[in-house]
Structures are given as C-alpha cells and as structure tokens.
Amino acid sequence: MARSPNTKIKSSTARMTDDLSLPVAPARTNTKSAAIIALLKSKRGATIQELMQATHWQAHSIRGFLAGSLSKRHGLAVTSEKPEGKARRYRLQ
C-alpha cells in the first residue's frame, strides 16, 4: 500500500508519547550517572576525586557531565563550594 507523499511518518518516540497508558520504564540504578547523582545528593556533596573513584572517569569528563547532562538534560541545579584550604565540593540543590 503506497502512502501519499505529504503523509509524515511518526517516529517511535512520538508514537509512544501519544499513548499515555504505556508503562514508563523505571530509572536505571546501576549506572555511573546514578552513582554520581547519589553522591551529589548526600549532605556533604562530593569532590571531583570522590566522583572519579566512583565512576573511573577522568576529571574533565565529570565536569562535562555536571555541566552538560545534569544541568542541561536533567534540569538539576549543581552548586559548588570551595572551603578555605579544602577541595571544591559539588552538591545538588
């Protein structure tokens, strides 16, 4: 069956959002992103070194994740604090 040239095909994502009765997949818990978020949600927050140990990522990758993925994609506000003579700590508000 041929379709009209003016007919647009919906993407699979668009088709999924049309039907609100579909179950939503649970958030994955055993990911590096989840580990970072868990550390940042703690009362103390986390340093770059602690995040590096938890994920085995390099420092520039963690900073990029904090600025890009958490702030822009997930809309989470990341704050940082630099106590005198101590390492900078990052935390989710």
pLDDT digits (tens, 9 = 90+) for 24-65: 556 678 899 999 999 999 999 999 999 999 999 999 999 999
Percentage of the chain modeled with pLDDT above 90: 54
d(CA 76, CA 93): 8
Overall domain count for the chain: 1
Q: Note whether 55 and 64 are within 8 A (CB).
A: no
The better pLDDT of the pair 10, 50 is held by: 50
Residue 66: which domain range?
29-92
- Whether residue 52 is contained in a domain is answered as yes
In a domain, 14, yes or no: no
Q: Are 79 and 44 in contact (CB under 8 A)?
A: no
Q: Is 48 helix (H, G, I), strand (E, B) or coil?
A: helix
CATH number at residue 76: 1.10.10
Q: Is the pLDDT of residue 19 over 60?
A: no
Q: At what angle do helices 32-41 and 48-55 cross, to 10 degrees?
A: 150
Interatomic CA distance for residues 17 and 80, integer angstroms: 36
The rounded distance, in Å, linking the Cα atoms of 61 and 59 is 5
Rounded to an integer, what distance in angstroms lies between the CA atom of residue 86 and that of residue 26? 37
* Amino acid sitting at position 37: I
The pLDDT tens digits for 61-86 are 999 999 998 888 888 999 999 999 99
